[in-house]
Amino acid sequence: MDAKVDITHPLDPLSLAEIAQAVAILTAAKGLGAYHRFPIVRLEEPAKAELAAWRAGAPLPRLAFLLTLDVTTGEASEAIVDLLTAHVTSFTILPNDQPPYGQPPVMIEEFIRAEEIVKADAGWRAAVAKRGITEADIPLVQVDPFSSGFFGRDFEKGRRIVRAVSYWREDIRDNGYAHPIEGVVAVVDLIANKVVDLVDEEKIVPVPKKKRNYGREAFPDVRTDIKPLDIVQRQGPSFTVDGWRVEWQNWSFRVGFTPREGLVLHELAITDGGKLRPVIFRASVTEMVVPYADPTANHYWKSAFDAGEYGLGRLANQLELGCDCLGHIHYFDVPAADDLGQPFVMKNAICMHEEDYGTLWKHYEFRNGIYETRRSRRLVISFFATVGNYDYGFYWYLYQDGTIQLEAKLTGIIQTAAVTPGEVYPWGGMVDEGLGGPTHQHFFNARLHMDIDGGGNTVTEHEFAPRAWGEDNPYGNVFDTKTRTLKRELDSPAVANGETGRYWKVANPQAVNSVGKAPGYKLVVTPTPVMLAQEGSTVARRGGFAKKHIWVTAFDKGEKYASGDYPNVNAGGGGLPAYVAQNRPIENADVVLWHSFGHTHVCKPEDFPIMPVEYAGFLLKPNGFFAGNIAMNLPPEKNAHSRDNREAGDDEGGKEGSGKTGGGSCCH
Ligand code: CO
Delimiting residues of CATH 2.70.98.20 domain(s) in the chain = 240-623
Assign domain 108-218 to its CATH architecture: Roll (3.10)
CA angle, 446 then 448 then 451, to 5°: 170
Q: Is the bond preceding residue 100 a cis peptide, omega within 30 degrees?
A: yes
**Distance in Å, CA 440 to ligand 1 centroid:** 6
Residue 306 is a catalytic residue: yes
Q: What is the mean pLDDT of each run of 10 residues along the chain (668 residues)?
A: 70 97 98 97 94 87 97 98 97 97 97 97 98 98 97 98 98 98 98 98 98 97 96 95 98 98 98 97 98 98 97 96 94 98 98 98 96 97 96 98 98 98 96 97 98 97 98 98 98 98 98 98 97 97 98 98 98 98 98 98 98 98 98 94 83 46 59
**Distance in Å, CA 322 to ligand 1 centroid:** 27
**Given 174, 306, 565, 590, the catalytic residue:** 306
**Distance in Å, CA 143 to ligand 1 centroid:** 20
- Sign of the torsion formed by the C-alpha atoms of 100, 104, 105 and 110: negative
**Distance in Å, CA 619 to ligand 1 centroid:** 22
pLDDT score at 123: 98
Contact 608, 211 (CB under 8 A): no
Nearest to 445 by CA among 547, 587, 558, 300: 547
* Domain 240-623 homologous superfamily, CATH: Copper amine oxidase, catalytic domain (2.70.98.20)
**Distance in Å, CA 568 to ligand 1 centroid:** 21
Q: What is the torsion angle, in degrees rounded to the nearest 10, for the CA atoms of residue 108, residue 113, residue 115 and residue 118?
A: -140
389 - beta bridge partners?
A: none
Q: State the Cα–Cα distance between residues 42 and 8, nearest whole angstrom.
A: 17
Q: State the Cα–Cα distance between residues 582 and 474, nearest whole angstrom.
A: 46
**Distance in Å, CA 414 to ligand 1 centroid:** 6
**Distance in Å, CA 408 to ligand 1 centroid:** 12
Nearest to 440 by CA among 424, 431, 426, 428: 428
- Sign of the torsion formed by the C-alpha atoms of 325, 280, 309 and 599: negative
pLDDT score at 56: 83
pLDDT score at 4: 56
Q: What is the pLDDT of residues 507-563, one digit of tens each?
A: 999 999 999 999 999 999 999 999 999 999 999 999 999 999 999 999 999 999 999
pTM: 0.96
Q: State the Cα–Cα distance between residues 229 and 233, nearest whole angstrom.
A: 13
**Given 167, 300, 390, 561, the catalytic residue:** 390
22 - beta bridge partners?
A: none
Mode of pairing for the β-strands spanning 520-524 and 568-570 = unpaired
**Distance in Å, CA 525 to ligand 1 centroid:** 20
Task: Give CATH for domain 16-94.
Answer: 3.10.450.40
Residue 331 is a catalytic residue: no
- The number of beta carbons lying within 10 Å of the beta carbon of residue 642 is 9
Delimiting residues of CATH 3.10.450.40 domain(s) in the chain = 16-94, 108-218
* DSSP letter, residue 180: B
pLDDT score at 3: 54
**Distance in Å, CA 256 to ligand 1 centroid:** 28
pLDDT score at 650: 58
Q: State the Cα–Cα distance between residues 285 and 444, nearest whole angstrom.
A: 7
